[in-house]
């Protein structure tokens, strides 16, 4: 095996992938799946919408940049002095895309042929920024239209209304795309400043899953990526009070059936949650009102919810909220039912049967991800950026006890929750 290549394997799952410390400074992961006809690649950086205040090593002052600049930068990277990256991908037949979340930005493609050329394009355009004031002004108009579209999307707005009700200062409450006003302040100089800080290879990772091998990926990386010295920087997330802003916020958008999101604020202000913490919270939410829970069946039969009802442990760098979402004509009644279930568990604990059902159900869901190369690449990147490997999640399921899950629920304070309603 080549120097700098480490095999990561899990014998009980009969799965393995490879971690590569590339000479450029980039961390690369390759998971060969020879029985798959397609290949999926994801090139990501630990840079998202919450990263609006940073300071390079050696600088005295923090740089404050406009909200939405990470998303704006994602859009701009597809452009070049010559061909747009999407046009280049069309020639290889690859299906390319990108996304910006709260704490990361990722560029990706899926292909069934011409993998090597497609990977060359991905690595090339992400590492070759080209911004001018003229193209920035043009993009401001395009992204302005996107912002207006999301302002009219009730599913998007119910989340950000909740985040505004939960957080006083945390930038996670700001729309990922920013505002019309904030993006008007973006300049080519600011884009280069953010790019040179956060798109340093030491802050990035590449994951390739599917019909590809380690040697081919290394060969292409050697050809396209130039070595970089690591860039060190500090990021700031403002101090956040322990209590929520409001226990209930309503907005009127004229929807047929009200949409709601109920979230519980956690005392989490720095770093990311561990694999065990995330698994514990997921099992806790499933026990409270998951798809096979008694409460879910009861609320469904009583017409309080429909099949859109779901839960999520919404977490990332510096934020974490257990959330229940759905549609209901009676969102306050749904909230009260969830409160009652939480109080019941706090008083009596979780039954062995309920714990085992949730644990096995969610474990099986994780196992199914190995049949999807898109999910696998996404999960590898996600785990690496959170500080653990792909198999840590499965090991966490073995370690977790009923008491661990009960402790999560005991920390869910209904007095420190917020109900967001779009009427």
What's the pLDDT score for residue 271? 80
Say if residues 201 and 26 touch (Cβ distance below 8 Å): yes
User: Is-same-fold flag (5-235; 248-422)?
Assistant: yes
Token pair for 12: 């009980």
Q: What residue spans define the domains of the chain?
A: 5-235, 248-422
Q: Which residue has the tokens 């949650």?
A: 273
**CA 63 vs CA 59, 67, 167, 233, 243: distances in Å:** 9, 12, 22, 11, 28
What's the pLDDT score for residue 73? 97
Residue 326 CA to residue 419 CA, distance in Å, equals: 12
What's the pLDDT score for residue 250? 96
- From first to last of its 423 residues, the chain has per-residue pLDDT tens of 566 899 999 999 999 999 999 999 999 999 999 889 899 999 999 999 999 999 998 888 999 999 999 999 999 999 988 789 999 999 999 999 999 999 999 999 999 999 999 999 999 999 999 999 999 999 999 999 999 999 999 999 999 999 999 999 999 999 999 999 999 999 999 999 999 999 999 999 999 999 999 999 999 999 999 999 999 999 888 889 999 999 999 999 989 999 999 999 998 777 889 999 999 999 999 999 999 999 999 999 999 999 999 999 999 998 999 999 999 999 999 999 999 999 999 999 999 999 999 999 999 999 999 999 999 999 999 999 999 999 999 999 999 999 999 999 999 999 999 999 999
The whole model's pTM is what? 0.94
What's the pLDDT score for residue 238? 85
Question: Active-site residue numbers?
Answer: 74
Cβ-count burial of 209 within 10 angstroms (0-12 exposed, 13-18 middle, 19+ buried)? buried
What's the pLDDT score for residue 1? 52
Q: Which fold has domain 248-422?
A: Cytochrome Bc1 Complex; Chain A, domain 1 (3.30.830)
CATH for the 5-235 domain, from 3.40.1390.10, 3.40.47.10, 3.30.830.10, 2.40.110.10: 3.30.830.10
- 230: nearest Cα among 279, 197, 276, 190: 197
What's the pLDDT score for residue 203? 97
Q: Which residue has the tokens 């006809």?
A: 37
Residue 147 CA to residue 397 CA, distance in Å, equals: 40
Identify the helix (H) or strand (E) that includes residue 324.
strand 319-327
10 Å Cβ neighbour count for 53?
15
Identify the helix (H) or strand (E) that includes residue 340.
helix 331-348
Token pair for 274: 């561990």
What's the pLDDT score for residue 360? 95
């Amino acid at each position: 095996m080549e120097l700098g290549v480490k095999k990561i394997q899990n014998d009980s799952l009969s799965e393995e992938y490879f971690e590569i410390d590339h000479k450029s400074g980039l961390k690369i992961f390759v998971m060969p799946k020879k029985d798959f006809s397609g290949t999926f690649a994801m090139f990501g950086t630990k840079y998202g919408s919450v990263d609006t205040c940073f300071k390079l090593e050696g600088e005295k002052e923090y740089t404050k940049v406009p909200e939405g600049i990470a998303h704006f930068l994602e859009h701009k990277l597809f452009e070049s002095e010559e061909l747009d990256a999407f046009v280049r991908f069309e020639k290889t037949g690859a299906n390319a895309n990108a996304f910006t979340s709260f704490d990361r930005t990722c560029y990706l493609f899926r292909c069934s042929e011409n993998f090597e050329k497609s990977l060359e394009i991905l690595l090339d355009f992400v590492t070759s920024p080209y911004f001018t004031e003229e193209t920035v002004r043009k993009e401001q108009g395009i992204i302005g239209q996107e912002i207006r579209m999301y302002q009219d999307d009730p599913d998007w707005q119910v989340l950000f209304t909740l985040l505004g009700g939960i957080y006083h200062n945390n930038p996670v409450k700001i729309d990922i795309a920013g505002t019309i006003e904030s993006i008007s302040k973006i300049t080519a100089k600011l884009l280069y400043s953010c790019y040179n800080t956060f798109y340093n290879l030491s802050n990035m990772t590449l994951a390739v899953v599917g019909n590809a091998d380690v040697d081919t990926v290394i060969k292409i990386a050697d050809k396209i990526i130039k070595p970089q010295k690591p860039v060190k920087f500090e990021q700031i997330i403002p101090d956040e009070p322990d209590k929520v802003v409001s226990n209930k916020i309503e907005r009127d958008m004229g929807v047929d059936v009200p949409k709601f999101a109920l979230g519980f604020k956690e005392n989490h202000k720095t770093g990311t949650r561990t694999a065990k913490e995330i698994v514990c919270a997921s099992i806790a939410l499933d026990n409270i009102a998951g798809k096979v829970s008694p409460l879910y069946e009861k609320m469904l039969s009583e017409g309080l919810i429909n099949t859109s009802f779901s839960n999520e442990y919404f977490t990332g760098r510096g934020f974490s909220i257990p959330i229940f979402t759905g549609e209901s004509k009676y969102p306050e009644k749904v909230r009260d039912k969830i409160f009652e279930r939480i109080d019941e568990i706090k008083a009596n604990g979780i039954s062995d049967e309920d714990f085992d059902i949730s644990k096995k159900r969610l474990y099986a869901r994780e196992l199914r991800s190995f049949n999807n190369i898109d999910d696998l690449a996404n999960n590898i990147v996600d785990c690496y950026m959170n500080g653990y490997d792909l198999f840590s999640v499965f090991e966490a399921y073995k370690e977790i006890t009923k008491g661990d899950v009960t402790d999560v629920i005991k920390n869910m304070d209904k007095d420190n929750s917020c109900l967001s309603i779009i009427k």
